[in-house]
């Protein structure tokens, strides 16, 4: 490579030795060596998502993510796949609304041989004629399968309505958009969007950190430019109710309302409160809607976020005959929680969150995902001690202050099934 990347900063972000390097071309490396591990995990996160893909080529990002594996660098599709298999690489990846990921896990000792393959994957994909089209066919099949997955189909429509702008696009794309994609579109899109500015590489496990830095510096030395910026999430201004008629026996109910972004002062109060509401078999929704009233076969709620925007989603699956009552009770519980939660509920919710957090952070794969997400959302990695302390600090009183300031309201509802429902 002709040029070298200057390492602009090195920082130790927590007592688990999470280290961050910012390179001059905009690529960020964040890594957490785990000496006791024999394996290593990695995730390249590129801000290449459905929200900044060409609108008329809806689904292009999904096709891109898979097509990159169909030959890269000096290797054709079979050779590239065999090379990863021979190194024991357990591959992973995704195409979402805001970003695409290219990751995997393997023995740590194999990492120096694996990283050049991933550099080719990201920088030099082939898109061979007669092969990349298979990825489009898979995308079309995934889209068609929504008719057999009514809950997922309902949530696709709910997000589209709740986010009327680019963030309402489905990462699955559309039939028209997918059918318009050509090889030239893939090549041009790669040249336009696959850039280091804003890109993140997260790694955890058996890692020689200094060696990784030097290797990444060499492999990506000539990578330049920035991805077109992601638009800001746009939320529906007036709550809406929408029904999708489908001749099935169940009714699927989805609700969306305002949440909090991860850097909001009330964020952890919000997370604990959402766990009280919908975090498992001991949560309010399960107890009140299913156990006491027997209205549903499943019900849950959770907190989600795009960069700079938090939102909540709730779901209930029930019969057509009991669907209106289910919606009424569900919305009542979503509102009622603002009247107060008990310390017992809070302690149970905190224990569940902390248990899940600690167990997931012990996995190198989960740790790379959380580090990449933090860097994308916040521009830094939250130390585990910081997160646990923030959760432990939450009380029933602090949650009440949160609800007094930001009460749950303005619910957007989408239903799918034989019965059209209403709510005031």
408 contacts: CB under 8 Å, gap ≥ 6: 257, 258, 312, 334, 335, 337, 338
Structure pTM? Answer: 0.92
Mapping DSSP to helix (H, G, I), strand (E, B) and coil, where does residue 79 land? helix
Over residues 162-219, the pLDDT tens digits come to 999 999 999 999 999 999 999 999 999 999 999 999 999 999 999 999 999 999 999 9
Amino acid 74: pLDDT: 97
- CA proximity to 160, closest of 175, 170, 174, 148: 170
* Secondary structure (DSSP) of 355-383: HHHHHHHTSHHHHHHHHHHHHHHHSSPPP
The token duo for 361 is 């952070």
Q: Identify the structural domains of the chain with CATH numbers, from first to last.
A: 7-219 (3.30.830.10), 241-417 (3.30.830.10)
* Per-residue pLDDT of the chain in tens (424 residues, 90 and over written 9): 333 444 343 333 334 589 999 999 999 999 999 888 899 999 999 999 999 999 999 999 999 999 999 999 999 999 999 999 999 999 999 999 999 999 999 999 999 999 999 999 999 999 999 999 999 999 999 999 998 999 999 999 999 999 999 999 999 999 999 999 999 999 999 999 999 999 999 999 999 999 999 999 999 999 999 999 999 999 999 999 999 999 999 999 999 999 999 999 999 999 999 999 998 788 999 999 998 899 999 999 999 999 999 999 999 999 999 999 999 999 999 999 999 999 999 999 999 999 988 888 788 999 999 999 999 999 999 988 899 999 999 999 999 999 999 999 999 999 999 999 988 6
Four-residue CA torsion sign, 275, 280, 283, 286: positive
Amino acid 16: pLDDT: 55
Cα–Cα distance measured from residue 29 to residue 10, given in angstroms and rounded to the nearest whole number: 10
Cα–Cα distance measured from residue 180 to residue 173, given in angstroms and rounded to the nearest whole number: 11
CA atoms within 13 A on the CB side of 101: 23
The token duo for 389 is 């302390």
Mapping DSSP to helix (H, G, I), strand (E, B) and coil, where does residue 266 land? coil
Mapping DSSP to helix (H, G, I), strand (E, B) and coil, where does residue 352 land? helix
Amino acid 361: pLDDT: 79
Q: Is residue 283 a contact partner of residue 298, using CB atoms and an 8 Å limit?
A: no
């Amino acid at each position: 490579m002709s040029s070298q990347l200057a390492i602009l900063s090195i920082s130790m972000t927590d007592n688990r030795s999470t280290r961050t390097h910012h390179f001059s071309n905009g690529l960020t490396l964040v890594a957490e060596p785990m000496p006791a591990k024999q394996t290593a995990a990695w995730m390249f996160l590129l801000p290449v998502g459905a929200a900044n893909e060409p609108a008329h080529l809806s689904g292009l990002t999904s096709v891109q993510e898979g097509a990159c594996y169909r030959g890269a660098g000096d290797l054709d599709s079979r050779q590239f796949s065999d090379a990863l298999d021979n190194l024991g690489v357990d591959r992973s990846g995704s195409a979402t609304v805001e970003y695409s990921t290219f990751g995997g896990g393997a023995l740590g000792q194999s990492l120096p041989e694996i990283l050049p393959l991933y550099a080719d994957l990201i920088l030099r994909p082939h898109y061979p004629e007669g092969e990349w089209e298979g990825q489009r066919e898979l995308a079309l099949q995934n889209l068609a399968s929504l008719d057999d997955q009514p809950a997922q189909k309902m949530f696709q429509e709910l997000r589209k309505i709740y986010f009327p702008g680019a963030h309402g696009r489905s990462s699955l794309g559309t039939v028209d958009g997918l059918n318009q994609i050509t090889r030239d579109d893939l090549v041009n899109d790669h040249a336009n969007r696959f850039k280091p500015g804003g890109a993140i590489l997260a790694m955890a496990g058996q890692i020689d950190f200094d060696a990784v830095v030097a290797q990444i510096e060499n492999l990506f030395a000539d990578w330049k430019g920035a991805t077109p910026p992601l638009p800001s999430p746009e939320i529906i201004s007036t709550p809406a109710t929408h029904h999708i008629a489908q001749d099935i026996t169940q009714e699927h109910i989805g609700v969306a309302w305002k949440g909090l972004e991860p850097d909001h002062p009330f964020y952890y109060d919000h997370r604990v409160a959402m766990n009280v509401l919908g975090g498992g078999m001991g949560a309010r929704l399960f107890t009140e809607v299913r156990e006491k009233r027997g209205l549903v076969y499943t019900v849950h709620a959770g907190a989600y976020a795009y960069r700079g925007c938090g939102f909540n989603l709730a779901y209930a699956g029930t019969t057509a005959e009991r669907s209106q009552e289910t919606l009424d009770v569900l919305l009542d519980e979503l509102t009622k929680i603002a009247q107060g939660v008990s310390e017992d509920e809070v302690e149970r919710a905190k224990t569940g969150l902390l248990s899940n957090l600690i167990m997931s952070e012990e996995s190198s794969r989960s740790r790379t995902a959380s580090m990449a997400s933090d860097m994308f959302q916040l521009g830094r990695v939250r130390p585990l001690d910081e997160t646990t302390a923030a959760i432990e600090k939450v009380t029933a009183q602090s949650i009440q202050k949160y609800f007094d300031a930001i009460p749950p309201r303005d619910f957007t509802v989408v239903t799918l099934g034989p019965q059209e429902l209403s709510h005031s």
